[in-house]
Structure 1
Amino acid sequence: MPQPAHQPPRFGPELRRLRLARGFTLGHLSLLVHYSKSQLSKVERSLKSPSTELARLCDSALGAEGALAALAPPPRETPPAPTPDSGSDGDDIWMMQMDPDGSTSFEPVPRRAVMAAGAATVIPLGQPAPQADSAALLRTAHSLFAHYRRLGQSTGPQLVLPPLIAQTHSLRASARHAGRHRAALLSLASRYAEYIGWLVQESGDDRGALWWTDRAVELAASGGDPELAAYALVRRGLITLYRGDAAQTVELAQRARQLADSDRVRGLAAQREAQGHALAGGHRDCMRRLEEARTLLATAGATPADSSPPGAPVIGTSTLTDPVSMITGWCLHDLGRPGEAAEVLDRETAELPPDALRSQARYGVRRALAHAAAGEIDHACALVQALTAATDAVASATITTDLRRLAITLRRHPTTAVQNLLPWLASYV
């Protein structure tokens, strides 16, 4: 007779088994994870499903190295990661609509569709003159990009995307007549497009973010800059990270490391892989990748592959003085070690530039999450209260993901500070 298939243990009974094996009482575990004994008892008896946060905290407290957290059921069905719309054939017309109420929309439309709809409604502005000073354009566009990145740190995507899209189109068109500056213009256009993809993700459109990332890869390849193809996988890994897909995040980051030639992109890929391992509860693998990331990013620029084409901005963050340490704090929280995470994030957020509102809100909310998970509820509320203006200003969909997680944690502790913060949080969750 066929043997019955081996059934993996359920979370509740396995939690109880590990707790007793460590000699912990429910009260002891409750103090470690900052959940009530009553709730832990219900989880152990399978009367209540554990939250993702509780599963990670218990996994860390019991030294399960991710094995316990892996048994927790997903909080809800997670749809597969989006795939970008079909690629550009090079003849698409980029249509941007600017409404009187200030809203803006963008859509790539096949030229044939525009002509069929009636070209009389389209006002042609002409093409760049062949004799345009490409060197001057490159210098100016490079300077503008630095300004746009700073602007993106202090305002919502909707205000920055229209000029970025227009500038990307101008660079792409100008490259056709740029002679020896063609490669540099296309490489810079690819950086614009990659930044647009990130801002589109910030606005909540993952599919649009992937479309722009693909355009960035095409532009970079046309300009002889293949490294962006590897970095595009790191960017895709950010989308799967926020969707809670640890396995896909790790896979994308590993592919990026294999494809990349430069230490910088390999370092950023190792950093993303560490975040994926943290989601899966793999402390050892996470720390190993973070150490590799630190080594690679420290040596970035020392090899020919790390030399960006003329006019191309640096790939990756421009506001973190020590990105690996900041991401270490991020990972420690996902590993169920909120006290350690809070200590690191306290130190690293103090180094953020005062005008980098988006980074302040992003890592500040992460810092508050860590303090809340460590049981420091009122302190977490005070941290968020100081970030409300910055968070409102940057209108970030990814920061909203963490705000939802924070709200779930805070609602278990109805203190006065929590009650004062919940009305503002309600506008996000």
Structure 2
Amino acid sequence: MQPLTFGSELRRLRKAAGHTLRSFAPLANVSYAQLSKLETGERVPTGEVARAVDDALRADGALVALGAELRASRVRGSLPRETRRAGEDMRRRAMMGAAATLAASVTGLAGVDFDPARPRRIDAGDVARLEASLDRMWALDHAHGAAELWDLAVARAHSITLLLDVSDYDDATGGRLLDLNGRAYMLAGWLADDAERLDVARTCYNEALTIARQADSDELACHALGNLAAIGVGLERPRQTLRFVAAAERALPAGSSVRQASVLRMRRGRALAQSGDAAEASRELTAARRMLDTDNGPVPERLAYFSPAEIDGNAAACAISLGKPQQAARLLETALGDYDPRFGRNRALYLVRLAGARLRCDQPDGAAEAIGQALDILAAEVGSRHVRVELTDVAGDLQPHRHLTPVSEVLDRYETLTSA
């Protein structure tokens, strides 16, 4: 079997859609000659080109991820063998702690594993241990990212489905187990999203929606629809995002967490900014802030990251969409100053975006400083593919400034870290 590459997948999807190179070129706004070279591997796609062909073929981020992998592999191939080995050791050390810790949490779910041929009785204590394990996994994801372990999370969600199908339990325990099954798929989808496996994330969220209907759980349905909206934000498909946000708000149960409603307003703001509606985007973000200020209820672990600083970070993303990099840089600096250090993955992401905003403001030294801080976090056990994809694009944009000493030094660090 031929390995999956950007060029081969682009060709396969183009042909499956019934396009020739010449008929597809205007749809993607990419020249015929460039498309040909992309498919044969003669040219490496920029992040912008990968996004354009991905959107035109409705590839749901698959081509974006493959393009990022290809750009990173070209950087690795240009490094001396000793540098690549050093980078591999660094990355292995960086991920070992997070991977081992999260794997230990996953095995906590195994405490109720059993032989399907000999079903066991599941009681409230078993469910409580499963629930605690999911909370630990959410907390580890906030701190480290968990892109490398999404497949284990999916397998564990499937295993809880098996528990529901063949184990023994009373009605109350069955209800809790069904709700837990939906939340396990939500966690698996979130981790898959962080791994840039949007196809898996979408499948997990849709599975959670199916479970929400079985459990008659508006809260779970709202959570799933809200995360499908988040996929739309990431793919920059504002109409899709707005549809899912509206559906999530309809599902939002009376008396539910104000925090969840605030998240939805924030995501609507992101979609409106991507549509170019600055005034409405600002109104939605302001409403999200005001709602969050009134939230005095318990905070579920999955929403522990959501704070005024997170809203500032998303407001910065809106500013970038609207072509206002200076405003974005100011908002990101504020967000990072206030962001809880427990949430390493999000802090690394916002540092990468700060670097991009500063670069758009013609501040390459400031961009290098932000990337250096992001690399410090990545080297301290953050394993998020989403962060690394964005970092690859910003590092590529920094290359023309490599004659500057701070830029050269941070790019050397970046290339070492990503050479594994």
TM-score range, shorter chain: 0.5 to 0.7
Residue aligning to 2:343: 356
Cα displacement (A) at 1:148 = 1.1
When residues 413 and 154 of structure 1 are mapped into structure 2, their CA distance, relative to the original with a 3 A threshold, is same
When residues 293 and 354 of structure 1 are mapped into structure 2, their CA distance, relative to the original with a 3 A threshold, is closer
Residue aligning to 1:80: 58
- Separation in structure 2 between the aligned mates of residue 171 and residue 75 of structure 1, nearest angstrom: 36
Residue aligning to 1:260: 252
TM-score by structure 2 length?
0.64
When residues 166 and 75 of structure 1 are mapped into structure 2, their CA distance, relative to the original with a 3 A threshold, is closer
Give SS of 2:313's match. Answer: helix
Alignment check: 8 A CA contact 1:257 1:265 kept: no
Alignment check: 8 A CA contact 2:348 2:374 kept: yes
Corresponding letter in the other structure for 2:205: T
Alignment check: 8 A CA contact 2:60 2:235 kept: no
Using CA pairs under 8 Å that are at least 6 residues apart, name the structure with larger relative contact order, 1 or 2.
2
Residue aligning to 1:279: 274
- Separation in structure 2 between the aligned mates of residue 278 and residue 198 of structure 1, nearest angstrom: 23
When residues 214 and 167 of structure 1 are mapped into structure 2, their CA distance, relative to the original with a 3 A threshold, is closer
Corresponding letter in the other structure for 2:211: L
Residue aligning to 1:384: 371
- Separation in structure 2 between the aligned mates of residue 409 and residue 228 of structure 1, nearest angstrom: 40
Corresponding letter in the other structure for 2:371: V
Q: Which moved more, 1:204-213 or 1:136-145?
A: 136-145
Q: In the alignment, does 2:393 pair up with 1:398?
A: no
- Separation in structure 2 between the aligned mates of residue 296 and residue 80 of structure 1, nearest angstrom: 35
Q: In the alignment, does 2:146 pair up with 1:170?
A: no
When residues 273 and 213 of structure 1 are mapped into structure 2, their CA distance, relative to the original with a 3 A threshold, is same
Corresponding letter in the other structure for 1:210: R
- Separation in structure 2 between the aligned mates of residue 354 and residue 195 of structure 1, nearest angstrom: 22
Cα displacement (A) at 1:74 = 10
Cα displacement (A) at 1:301 = 7.3
Cα displacement (A) at 1:340 = 2.1
**1:357-376 map, 5 Å:** 357-376=344-363
Give SS of 1:201's match. Answer: helix
Alignment check: 8 A CA contact 1:183 1:224 kept: no
User: Larger Cα Rg: Structure 1 or Structure 2?
Assistant: 1
Residue aligning to 1:142: 131
In structure 1, stretches of 5+ residues that fail to align are: 1-48, 50-71, 84-101, 104-122, 308-312
Cα displacement (A) at 1:183 = 2.1
When residues 329 and 199 of structure 1 are mapped into structure 2, their CA distance, relative to the original with a 3 A threshold, is same
- Separation in structure 2 between the aligned mates of residue 127 and residue 151 of structure 1, nearest angstrom: 33
Q: Alpha carbon RMSD of aligned pairs, Å?
A: 3.5
For residues 13-49 of structure 1, the C-alpha deviation after alignment (integer angstroms, 9 at most, x for no partner) is xxxxxxxxxxxxxxxxxxxxxxxxxxxxxxxxxxxx9
Q: Which has the higher helix share?
A: 2
How many residues get paired?
Answer: 311
- Separation in structure 2 between the aligned mates of residue 198 and residue 167 of structure 1, nearest angstrom: 12
Give SS of 1:375's match. Answer: coil
Residue aligning to 1:223: 215
When residues 172 and 269 of structure 1 are mapped into structure 2, their CA distance, relative to the original with a 3 A threshold, is farther
Q: Give the fraction of aligned pairs with identical amino acids, expressed as a percent.
A: 20
Residue aligning to 1:193: 185
When residues 193 and 142 of structure 1 are mapped into structure 2, their CA distance, relative to the original with a 3 A threshold, is same
TM-score by structure 1 length?
0.63
